[in-house]
Structure 1
Amino acid sequence: MALINNAGGSLTSAVLLTLLAWGVRWLRAELNRKRQEDEKGRVASRRSLGRFSARLSPVALRMLVETGPYPHLVISVRSAGSHDALPAELRGALRLPESKVAAVLGSASAWAEAFQGVPYPPPHFMLVFVGDREEEEVRAAAAAASCGFQRTMVLEGGLQALGGGSTQLPQPQADLHFIGRDALAVLLGMAPEVLHVPPVTLVDVRRSDERALYGAIKGAAHIPVDQLASALALPPEQFFVQYSFAKPAPDDLVVFSCRTNTRAGWAAQVARDAGLQRCLVLRQGVYGWRLDPAVKPYRGYRLQDVPPEAEPFSVEPLNAEAGRRELASLHIPVM
């Protein structure tokens, strides 16, 4: 049979090329659609886990339990078939099967029936879910978020990431590094005789009500400690929109402060887990700042308590020389 030709070659070749081009376009469209669906899924998943949900390293979880920087409950959602004991630091965790999380957290009466004597957690509490696998923790966290709990945390990698039969959560590999009041004041430009200081980001991790009632160190950015882990997981553009300052880079010098130093210490660990390598904690906290009459010392109080009166104090002079010596010991050059 004679082959039909056209000016560009055989008709069969033209059809094949057309089909191939169509196939490439279709494949590209499908890949693009899949990427968009995956991105929507990630956004939806994040929303379903709560606005301030995040993953906690085993070290951060240990510090949370041992130092109590924020009101929290640890809930074990391990299946009944799990035979390994929980790490020692988590022996006080409440036990709640993943399948019952929504029902129990959905009403105070169901909670009271499941956990007699344990008060029903208020919405601002941090709920930390631990399970053998991170996947079951995430499902439990999503169920809690559906009940209105926005601070749902999961243990990074689940308990299986610690190794079978692990009896303890790991300790921090290095001690926290502190910075004193005078040294921070020098970094913040409060010593006029010091002409050059490296850039520093001071992050106040107290609640908004504390800052409003008792003042904040001039120049301090603000991220409440319960939001820090989720904040550091944001892309830089979204971080800036939400917190009004640039997201710190891994090599940036960052100082965390709170009323004393408990919350700031945990914040420094969370930040190190997120990749920030130069984190310091204000040793005296704002309670011991006393360099500014607008920053008042006060007794600690819970969110639901009546705020205490600020304590009387006298403004103290800055010891710039002591600050410079401390900065030298921290290998932070000033001129």
Structure 2
Amino acid sequence: MRLINVIVGVAAIVCVALLSPIISAATTANNELSADLSSAGKRSESTVLSSGAMATYEQVKDVPNHPEIYLIDVRNPEELTATGTIPASINIPLPSLESALQVEPEEFEQTYGRAKPAKDAKIIFTCRSGRRAQEAEKIAKAAEFTNLSVYHGSWLEWAEKEGLPQ
């Protein structure tokens, strides 16, 4: 009987250890969702400029009205030729992103037609489906950029909502 109690106790400890990170992540996600829902419907500059991990279609659509925001499309150039681009986006293919974020400001502007973003500039990453945009966010974080978002819907959502080919 004592052996069974020990086994049950060890099993309980293992379960708690395994589930704690999942519960913590779910709690964090729930808090973020609650914050997003509480501000739903409030379209203002503060909504567009708020920091966070996810950018919405509405925020991306409003980027042309906010020249201080960088919308970086990390798809390859041939993908852009085939489908089109999101207005106000600049193309820095994912394989080039790390080096692009490290070049001198003059070289960045000459290459991409826009001033190099400051480390605290609002940057939204987009791609075709959102996967490469997530990788881009990791690269930018590693380069010490701090105000980053990912447009998870990326081109597929944009094209659907805008009636464009995917």
Q: TM-score range by the shorter chain?
A: 0.5 to 0.7
Pair 1:178-2:54 in alignment? yes
| AA partner of residue 215 (structure 1) | G
Q: Indicate conservation of the 8 Å contact 1:181/1:283, yes or no.
A: no
| AA partner of residue 144 (structure 2) | G
Q: CA deviation at 1:280?
A: 0.5
Q: Indicate conservation of the 8 Å contact 2:75/2:94, yes or no.
A: yes
User: Where does residue 91 of structure 1 map in the other structure?
Assistant: none
Q: CA deviation at 1:178?
A: 1.1
Q: CA deviation at 1:182?
A: 1.6
Size of the alignment, in residue pairs? 116
Partners of 1:285 and 1:216 in 2: CA distance: 11
Instruction: Indicate the structure (1 or 2) with the bigger Cα radius of gyration.
Output: 1
User: Where does residue 286 of structure 1 map in the other structure?
Assistant: 155
Q: CA deviation at 1:183?
A: 2.3
Partners of 1:244 and 1:254 in 2: CA distance: 16
| AA partner of residue 78 (structure 2) | D
Partners of 1:205 and 1:198 in 2: CA distance: 19
User: Where does residue 239 of structure 1 map in the other structure?
Assistant: 108
Q: Indicate conservation of the 8 Å contact 1:259/1:287, yes or no.
A: yes
Structure with more of its chain in helix, by fraction: 2
Pair 1:272-2:141 in alignment? yes
CA RMSD in angstroms, aligned pairs only: 2.1
Other structure's SS at 1:227 match: helix
Q: CA deviation at 1:199?
A: 2.3
Q: CA deviation at 1:198?
A: 7.2
Question: What is the TM-score when the length of structure 1 is the normalising length?
Answer: 0.33
Q: Which runs of 5+ in 2 are unaligned?
A: 1-27, 30-51
Partners of 2:74 and 2:89 in 1: CA distance: 10
Question: What is the TM-score when the length of structure 2 is the normalising length?
Answer: 0.64
Correspondent of 2:79 among 184, 202, 210:
210
Query: 1:141-167, CA deviations, whole angstroms, 9 ceiling, x for partnerless residues?
Result: xxxxxxxxxxxxxxxxxxxxxxxxxxx
Counting aligned pairs with the same residue, the percent is 28
Partners of 2:140 and 2:156 in 1: CA distance: 23
Q: Indicate conservation of the 8 Å contact 1:251/1:278, yes or no.
A: yes
Q: CA deviation at 1:246?
A: 1.3
| AA partner of residue 204 (structure 1) | D
Other structure's SS at 2:123 match: strand
Q: CA deviation at 1:238?
A: 1.2
Partners of 1:213 and 1:187 in 2: CA distance: 23
Partners of 2:149 and 2:74 in 1: CA distance: 13
Q: Please give the residue correspondences for 1:13-24 in structure 2 after superposition, counting only pairs within 5 Å.
A: none
Partners of 1:278 and 1:286 in 2: CA distance: 21
Q: Which runs of 5+ in 1 are unaligned?
A: 1-173, 190-196, 298-335
| AA partner of residue 187 (structure 1) | V
Q: Please give the residue correspondences for 1:64-103 in structure 2 after superposition, counting only pairs within 5 Å.
A: none
Query: 1:231-280, CA deviations, whole angstroms, 9 ceiling, x for partnerless residues?
Result: 11111111112222211101110000000111000101111111211010
